[in-house]
Structure 1
């Protein structure tokens, strides 16, 4: 029997890689008649070093995230998904995606974009994708290609102007 994924989590962070993961998550949810959960995590550690921290900044980030997630929600519904929802969470993205959300929603597949960090950045701050693949208790699919299975990096390269 083929594995069927009924509760699919996709991490949305606004990057091109997360866009690819979202598009593939729609396809997987449709094929499996599954439910798609989208999560955007506001990393509250980013606000710790802001000396003039105030609630207006958090409200602005939240409003931007809500607008983005509503757009994705509509896109998923337009693609034919009936069972789709989103949440905006606050805290450490690594643990929210790898542990908290899977427990809360009985997730059986996490779809996440490949990291956009270079080797030095990964060493210094760590990769959310790497952490999720190592620590999640369910299957994790790291998306590296577009819907036509073309490498994501090739899709983002712009042609050089001719002289």
Structure 2
């Protein structure tokens, strides 16, 4: 049987929802014998004014992201995934994940956790998972539970 997915991207942010998506990504990557990309995007829009006064905030966010990606890579290896790449990027996750990272790595499946936002927050700012779904050229799997 031919594999359906060769390059699988899972978007992570350290949340419980992202952890569920990560575990689902392990299963799919092993089943499909796919290359797993574990990506975290540091949302620089939140640092726009802070960075002018305190560069250490950005440095802490970057260090946290690197540690998170290394931890998740180790978990993927422990789960039996053999081909893993971590991706750390800066900008808007809503744009970077579906348009830049997915295109650069020729992703054919993006996996993301469901949002924790309530209905009012989604109307005002929109969720990352919703934006990924709208803007992706490939399949998207939004994970809500185990």
Same fold (TM over 0.5): yes
Aligned pair 1:74/2:74, yes or no? yes
Task: Work out the CA distance in 2 between the residues paired with 1:18 and 1:5.
Answer: 20
Q: Deviations over 1:81-122 (max 9, x none)?
A: 110111111001011111111110000000000111001111
Structure (1 or 2) with the greater helix fraction:
2
Could you say which structure has the larger radius of gyration? Answer: 1
Equivalent pairs counted in the alignment come to 146
Deviations 1:5-51 (A, max 9, x none): 11000000111111000000000000000000011010000012427
Q: Tell me what 1:43 maps to.
A: 43
Q: Which runs of 5+ in 2 are unaligned?
A: none
Task: Give the RMSD, CA atoms, in angstroms.
Answer: 1.4
TM-score normalised over the length of structure 2: 0.94
Return the TM-score normalized by structure 1: 0.85
Distance 1:51-1:81 versus aligned 2 partners, 3 A rule: closer
2:94 alignment counterpart: 94
**Residue 109 (structure 1) aligned with residue 97 (structure 2):** no
Secondary structure of 1:72's match? helix
Task: List alignment gaps of at least 5 residues for structure 1.
Answer: 147-163
The 3-state SS of whatever aligns with 1:123 is helix
Change (3 A) 1:106 1:51: closer
In the alignment, is the contact (CA less than 8 A) between 1:7 and 1:107 conserved in 2?
yes
